[in-house]
Amino acid sequence: MAARPIKCRPMAQPPKTPPEIAKLSFEDALKELEDIVKRLETGSAKLDDALASYERGALLKQHCESKLREAQARVDKIVLGADGKPATEPMALD
């Protein structure tokens, strides 16, 4: 019997961050994400609850990554210019 090719659907765009997550600080979002991971790791949640927690966790992860990118854009490093005077330039954190 010949194998049938697998049809792949295009990836969906990431969902917009809900307002209740967007207003969270990085620290609060990370704490909630850690709590969700601990809860999911126990395996005791019902399937629907686990799926809802996973979806919220994905949104929290996206929010935390966005906050980190914003912070990275604001970080400067101090360098010495050609004239020997200190100046700042964006820090390359990659």
* Nearest of 64, 56, 18 to residue 37 by alpha carbon: 56
**pLDDT at residue 18 in the model:** 93
Average pLDDT over residues 65-90: 80
Give 20-77 as a DSSP string. Answer: HHHTS-HHHHHHHHHHHHHHHHHT-S-HHHHHHHHHHHHHHHHHHHHHHHHHHHH-EE
Query: What is the reported pTM?
Result: 0.68
**pLDDT at residue 3 in the model:** 65
Backbone angles phi, psi at 9, to 5 degrees: -90, 150
Listed by start position, the domains of the chain span: 19-90
The predicted-structure confidence for 45-55, as pLDDT tens digits, reads as follows 999 999 999 99
